[in-house]
Amino acid sequence: MLLAPCSGFAQEVHKREAAAAVLFSLALLAAIAPGEAQAQAGPSVREFAVTSEPDAIFDLVRLEARISELERDGALRLLPSRVDRHLPGRVQQSLRQIHRGVPVYGGGVVRQLRDGVTLSVFGSLHEDIDLDVTPRLSPAEALAAMREAAGTGPATGEPPTLVVLPMPLGGYVLAWRAMMRDIKEYFVDAGTGEVAYVRDAMRNNEAVVGVGRGVTGALQKLSVSSTGERFEAYDRLRPAETVTLDGQSDVEVVGALIIGPDLEFETCTIAGCGVEWRQHVATDPDNWWEDEAVADGHAHLGLVYDYLYERQAWNGMNNTGSRVFSIVNMDDLNAFWISAPFGPEARGVVAFGSLPFGAPLVTLDIVAHELMHGVTFHSVRDRTGEPLLDSHTGVLGPESFSDGLFEYRCGVRLSRGGSLGRVGDPIVCRNGRFVLLWNEGGAINEAFSDILGFSVEAFVHPPGAGKLRADYLSGEDIDLIVRRSDEPASIGLPVRDDLPPPFGKAVGYPDSIDNAVRFFAIEIEEEDRILYLPLVMIDGRQFSVRSDIGYDGVHWNSTILSHAFYLAVEGGTHASSGREVEGVGSGNRDRIERIFFRAMTELMPARTTFSLTAAVLRQSARDLHGDGSPAFRAVDQALAAVGL
């Protein structure tokens, strides 16, 4: 259950959440085979996860030839190469898919070279694109359509740009894209002027409800600045400055700090003349910080920075040493990352609310989680041109299901509206079977954020159970265990308590791809859109009704990958598969941490899936430690244990 939203921009999110309204536009994939896979339904998208292993060497040679051909034809455009931060002699390249001069959204591959020789290629290429790239709408007309849809103006002074947008049910749309001040990126059909896709620039932590006894009471050290008259939560002791802004529970202040000026009425850019963030730096008169949100938030922001810098050689949010911002005392029951171009200096910002009547959401793992979203965003976008995208994929589900009252078969249309959608909308079916959908990219994004939370806890705290201990729980320091990756199934998904079992029954977080949470969805035919329903199939067989769709279930399904991380470190027997995993042991956890971090920041393509991510992780382990190493074996076994 979600609490009532308190802020304007959050309200949009919660409305969307409550209405179970998710737009997506990427391919529906039934299954992905190792190496190269073809989608079963939807537009033709071909995924690549090819490495230089002996049994794949010919695939790699063929793929290289194909990439060269596409590059020659202008269908792939090489972005600036980057020297690998961890391995000397390695170069990371990103090739963006181009259709007649226009980028294809999410299309492209990332290629790793050693001394000029290709080691691995990961990514997706959209095929059979036959699209005229001459827009009928001008950029100004597109912007007007976006403004009407968003109810507000553009976030930056940049004009909309063209993109080829793959559609969920097949085909492609030439679209104008631009970021608007409602913290969403709009894609408007350049032919019709219709909104074809909306991407939420806010990456939420899980909504949290109701319990907690406040912060731990532990003393924190804060690196601050003195003005002579007061102290500011402005850290100048680290290579990059970290700044904690005080939202003062004021919706307008927080909104202005996040969104910046309204360009329709101001002529300057966000970076140039936005809200003066310096006026909102958290302060204290005597350097004994009474505000728990500021104390924890600022200290933890610095400690997460330290972990990234010291353990992963990553400097700040975007690895350039730019100033890192967070906002605390936000009047919201949530914590989130909002991507660039938002935030005080247009590089994104993390923001933290609090539990109702309780603790601020600024525990070490929560701060690390949100900051990792920023790292993920910047690292993938800077390499590939796109951030890590939501990738909605699907499998064919049952021919029928029952909600206890009725038996539903393919072709059925909603008889009730409200939170489920509109009356008459058909539930998505293909070939006589319901299509079960999930947001793999979003879940992977969340998993990496949780993993950073565990890693930073291990960096700061001694191992153990309870508060201020390094563990695999999220939120435990404020008695809010929202997930645990050591035993995912021991935490139940949000329950709809107005329904009897089995519909409202407790279902644990998944620990394997085999018990992933996948959604039924409705198809809004005239808009070529699909919306998730809070009707899920847990293990391909078990039907359940949830209280909401939980941000596409991305937090729910994140435990598949974060559990693999846990197994790779600690080892053990996977609960549902019974597979044994030889972990590297907590004393060597830095190896696994580095493998995962490198996978995201060096190798991951913008559009990914669980199987593609598994291939990237194995390559990362291979790159860093070699095939026969305990670290590779741990990662390989852990991924296999969770079904990857």
Partner 1 sequence: MNVLRHGLRFVAAASIILSAGASAAQAESAQPGRWFLTVGGGLQSTSEPASHGATFEDPLFGSEAGEWTADYGGGRGEAFELSLGFRLAPRWGVGASVSRLSFSEEVEVTGRIPHPFRFDRMSVVEGVGSGLSRDETTVSAHLMWFIPAGRKVEFALFAGPTFYEAEQDLVSGIGFDRSYPYDAADLRGVERSRQSDSPVGYNLGGELAWYFGRRTGVVAAARYSRSTAHFETAEGCCKPVDVGGLQTSLGLRVRF
Query: Whole-number minimum distance, CB 296 to partner 1, in Å?
Result: 13
The residues of the shown chain that bind partner 1, judged by CB under 8 A, are: 219, 221, 223, 226, 237-239, 299, 302-303, 306, 309-310, 460
Cα separation, 193 vs 145, in Å, equals 6
Query: What φ, ψ does residue 306 adopt, rounded to 5°?
Result: -60, -45
Give the nearest distance from C-beta 213 to partner 1 in angstroms: 22
Strand partners, 225: 232
Report, in Å, the least distance between residue 242 CB and partner 1: 11
Which residue number, 309 or 503, has a Cβ lying nearer to partner 1?
Answer: 309
- Rg over alpha carbons for the chain, rounded to the nearest Å, is 23
Sign of CA dihedral 260, 233, 365, 636: positive
Q: Which is closer to partner 1, CB of 239 or CB of 587? A: 239
Distance CA 489, CA 128 (A): 42
CB of 308 to partner 1, least distance (A): 11
Q: Which is nearer to partner 1, 237 or 273 (CB)?
A: 237
The distance from CA 111 to its chain's CA centroid, rounded to whole angstroms, is: 22
Give the shortest CB-303-to-partner 1 separation in angstroms: 7
Least Å from the CB of residue 230 to partner 1:
15
- Measured from the CB atom, the residue of 46 and 469 that comes closer to partner 1 is 469
Helix axes 550-570, 610-625, angle to 10 degrees: 30
Residue 554 token pair: 């991305």
Which residue, 309 or 401, has its beta carbon nearer to partner 1? 309
C-beta closer to partner 1: residue 153 or 302: 302
How far is CA 118 from each of CA 51, 64, 65, 114, rounded to the nearest angstrom?
Answer: 8, 8, 11, 6
The number of angstroms, rounded, from the C-alpha of 378 to the middle of its chain's C-alpha atoms is 12
Closest separation in Å from C-beta 325 to partner 1: 18
Q: How far is the CB of 299 from partner 1 (least distance, A)?
A: 8
User: Residue 251: how many CB atoms within 10 A of its CB?
Assistant: 18
- Comparing CB distances to partner 1, the nearer of 54 and 462 is 462
Token pair listed for 247? 């939202």
Which residue type is seen at 212? G
How many other C-beta atoms are found inside a 10 Å radius of the C-beta of residue 157? 13
Nearer to partner 1, 117 or 218 (CB): 218
Bridge-partner residues for 162, per DSSP?
Answer: 176
Q: Are 447 and 561 in contact (CB under 8 A)?
A: yes
* Token code pair at residue 297: 């938030």
Comparison of 217 and 411: residue with beta carbon closer to partner 1? 217
Name the minimum Å distance from CB 283 to partner 1: 17
From the number of C-beta atoms within 10 Å of its C-beta (0-12, 13-18, 19+), residue 265 rates as: exposed
